[in-house]
A and B are shown apart, each in its own frame.
Chain A
Amino acid sequence: MQAKLSVVALSVAAAFALSACGEKEAPAPVAAPAAPAEKPVVVVKLGHVAPMTGPQAHLGKDNESGAVLAVEELNAQGLEIGGAKVKFELVSEDDQADPKQGTIVAQKLVDAKVNGVVGHLNSGTTIPASKLYADAGLPQVSPSATNPKYTQQGFATAFRVMANDVQQGKVLGEFAVKQGVKTVAIIDDRTAYGQGLADEFRKAAEAAGLKVVANEYTNDKATDFKAILTKIKSTKAELVFYGGMDAQGGPLVKQMKDLGIKAKFLGGDGVCTPEFMKLGGPAADGQFCSLPGMPLEQLAKGPEFKSKFTTKFGYEIQLYAPNAYDAVMVLADSMKRADSVEPAKYLPKLRETNLEGVTGKIEFDEFGDLKGGAISVYQYQGGALNYVETLGGAPVAAPAAPAAAPAEEKK
């Protein structure tokens, strides 16, 4: 306990030190040009919503860290928009990955008159919240909500900076066929994300001639999967697909091994994290998962972002931190081009975004989906996520080809 208390004390001290640094940095760039020109400073509030507590808190923190990094860089640049100096401020909210809580905090952000929203993390919270943002005319860029429905509701304010699950499910279905399996079992966690991804995978798998022998369900707080896995075992499925997050996927793959299930495991972006490997242990080895976009290492600004992130926060990127960073940058970029921080004024410019982000080129189609979003498949090997291949998405063919070669050798 003593040790733990001192850890707490340290982290509290660190937090104070950090906030002190932040305060020191903030006035500096403002003070310098303020002396000659006396320009007013406008505070631009950006809402950020993700689960900061609960089983997905590590992913929420990951997104938030990406957004924090972007905001700090923007403030260091000392931008001027509409003739005034702007200072970005992140208003971070916790939606607990709960759709009900998602709409409560969305209303809170609308009432707080934020200038834009980055979030939410989960599709299940993003979709109901997007209605509130749309009614308020507030631009929303989700860094991680992959359910196709989000952008198909006809809202002019809804955007996302990664490929959606129609693309991902299709790629995963094709990948399963390439693995040479004939029968698959599908498990999902009944969230908008998990269910959506599982449905898209099912469609793609059946279209490709695979036989779905079991459809089982769990929830996003479960720890015990033995009962449904036992049932899957009786169907002798050759591949188990999981639509859900890493906090369940890790224990699930472990329990598969305990029950002597030999089937392969395949999952989407929710399980494509270091956390999954930590929780899954040796059972995670050799299994596959997919992520929207390209691996950071292969992108022009990727490695730089990765080192900036780990130096600043002292922990690894989990999943969507680069996308959260890009989401903030996309909002700031359209404010710049519109020369206004007013949502009504910069929203039209947001649709015309053409930005070279950390995660690649960002352009939106008429729905607010990312144009030409690629999907990459990874394999867990010895505690690392190894890139296998990139499927789908037009502009990725060129850089993908040379990088695919070393991954093939590893296999």
Chain B
Amino acid sequence: MDIFLQQIINGLVQGSIYALVALGYTMVYGIMGLINFAHGEVVMIGALVSITVTGTLAAAGMPLGLAGLCGLVAAILSCMALGWSLERIAYRPLRGSPRLTPLITAIGMSIVLQNLAMIVWGRNYMTFPPLLPKINFEFAGTHFTLVQVVIVLLSAAMMAGLVFLVYRTKLGMAMRATAQNPAVASLMGVNTNRVIAAAFVVGSALAAVAGVMVGSYYEIAHYQMGFMLGLKAFTAAVLGGIGNLAGAMAGGVLLGIIEALGAGYIGDLTGGFLGSHYQDIFAFVVLIIVLMFKPSGLFGEKTGDRA
């Protein structure tokens, strides 16, 4: 039982990160129907910027906690700038072109960003400074660390903040209006260009936080870390119903838990026929089954309030 609980904890932490990244996919998709495949790379840039800033400040004598906070802020700011530039340079000129064009551009931007990061930060794995003290908790036979607790709480707070932004502010209302019908929204006086840019900026800020969290959780970062994470987060968004905020969150957490349980139990369930290297297959099989019965994802029917 404690093993089962431990796997749930493992999955919950992983899933919170997926959820945070998935929100970025789902916001952009909800508003303009574009899958921004470069989003995973924004996560990576966030992690690497925060390593550089934190490392430099800590080396200059600043206490690690404060340096880490500055690193986080720097990562958020640079990712917001990056998200804005991505939209401005790569996607806005293609507004109104066939759907495949911006999708291919997105994949292109992903490759460009990976290679830029490789040139700037090098190819090696970088070690992330331990931002939080190493405190281990033991509860009912399970082990977890302070970092894990902070990740789950911080993601929950960020998601709550996003929900507030989308449903309780003027910008959020403009986002929802643009999602429903961009043409009508602009007739009603909504500056759709600005709303779309805002969606990219907000999504990138979340990505930056996710990047710092992934970095401090595994204590490593490298220029390719965003690719698989982005793919998993995209899967989470589709699982929950892409374009839907609650769906992205639930999809993320669900995917994390499915993966952890899959890796932990697949060997026993199949009598050793399938091993833990099939953990990704486990996650994707669940995705396929969900999509077979609910093609729009778990929460996909509420297309009206997608943001």
Contact = CB atoms under 8 A, between A and B. Distances in A.
A278 interface: yes
Contacts of A3: 52, 56
Contacts of A217: 275-277
Interface string A243-258: 0000100110010001
B33 to A, nearest CB: 30
Main secondary structure of the interface of A (DSSP, over half): helix
B219 A8 contact: no
B119 A230 contact: no
B14 interface: yes
B105 interface: no
Interface residues of A, number: 39
B173 interface: no
B3 A275 contact: no
A126 B267 CA distance: 30
Main secondary structure of the interface of B (DSSP, over half): helix
Interface stretch (B21-29, B186-194, B257-265, B286-294): B257-265
A228 B125 contact: no
B220 interface: yes
A52 B124 CA distance: 10
Contact of A230 (B7, B127, B267): B7
A216 B3 contact: no
A231 B125 contact: no
B56 A231 contact: no
Contacts of A61: 123
Interface stretch (A74-82, A219-227, A377-385): A219-227
Given A55-B222, A251-B219, A279-B127, A230 B277 contact: no
Contacts of B261: 227
A411 interface: no
Contacts of B104: none
Given A55-B224, A233-B3, A234-B3, A227 B124 contact: no
Contacts of B181: none
B138 A216 contact: no
Nearest to B221: A223
Interface residues of B, number: 41
Contact of B3 (A8, A219, A231, A260): A231
B153 to A, nearest CB: 18
Given A218-B277, A231-B3, A247-B125, A258 B10 contact: no
A165 B112 CA distance: 39
B118 interface: yes
Contact of B143 (A221, A247, A254, A259): A259
A226 B279 CA distance: 12
Given A227-B264, A231-B276, A278-B127, A8 B120 contact: yes
A281 B127 CA distance: 9
B123 A52 contact: yes
B6 A224 contact: no
A182 to B, nearest CB: 21
B137 to A, nearest CB: 10
Interface string B1-36: 001001100110010000000000000000000000
Interface of A: 1, 3-5, 8, 52-55, 57-58, 61, 190, 215-219, 221, 223-224, 226-228, 230-231, 233-234, 247, 250-251, 254, 258-260, 275, 278-279, 281
Given A53-B123, A218-B276, A227-B260, 15 more contacts: A3-B52, A55-B224, A217-B277, A221-B228, A227-B259, A227-B264, A230-B10, A230-B260, A233-B3, A254-B219, A258-B136, A258-B143, A260-B138, A275-B125, A278-B125
28 contacts: A8-B120, A52-B123, A53-B118, A53-B123, A54-B123, A58-B124, A216-B267, A217-B276, A217-B277, A218-B276, A221-B224, A223-B225, A224-B10, A226-B14, A227-B10, A228-B263, A230-B3, A230-B7, A230-B264, A231-B3, A254-B219, A258-B136, A258-B143, A258-B145, A260-B143, A278-B125, A279-B127, A281-B219
Interface of B: 3, 6-7, 10-11, 14, 52, 56, 78, 118-121, 123-125, 127, 136, 138, 143, 145, 218-220, 222, 224-225, 228, 259-265, 267, 272, 275-277, 279
